[in-house]
Amino acid sequence: MILKSYQSKNRGFTLLDLIIGLIIMTIIIIIALHNLLESPESQQIRKPAERNLRAFAHGNQLNALKCQGKDEDGDGWVLCEANDRKQQTVKLQCGYDHRHSDCYLIPKSV
């Protein structure tokens, strides 16, 4: 009797458990690959720009999101994003080198 109730409670992995496990493993692998494949140059640009973004966002009641890791025109500014109080995405330019240690809002084109 005890053996029978134990077997009915512990049937092993179900298909749902397998699917959930595969989804979690896929997410972990994608995050790991993204971090491994990001070039050191990209990290050197993105990290200081995001630090400047967080400082700017804190002082301007924004929620910092992310910055690009590539300076398209070599001017020391990269494109960043933040959310305002209405959860609308705001575009900014943030500096990443010693010449620029701040951010500024990009006006919305009408």
User: Do the domain assignments include residue 30?
Assistant: no
Contacts by residues 97-103 (CB-CB < 8 Å, ≥ 24 positions apart): 97/48, 100/52, 100/76, 101/52, 102/52, 102/55, 102/56, 103/52, 103/53, 103/55, 103/56
Give pLDDT, residue 33.
Answer: 84
pTM confidence score: 0.62
Domain that holds residue 69: 40-105
Give pLDDT, residue 72.
Answer: 83
Give pLDDT, residue 29.
Answer: 92
Q: For residues 45 and 70, is the Cβ–Cβ distance under 8 A?
A: yes
User: Do the domain assignments include residue 56?
Assistant: yes
User: Do the domain assignments include residue 29?
Assistant: no
Q: Which residue ranges in the chain fall short of pLDDT 70?
A: 1-12, 38, 109-110
Number of domains within the chain? 1
Element (H, E) at 56: helix 40-59
User: Do the domain assignments include residue 84?
Assistant: yes
User: Do the domain assignments include residue 82?
Assistant: yes
Give pLDDT, residue 14.
Answer: 87
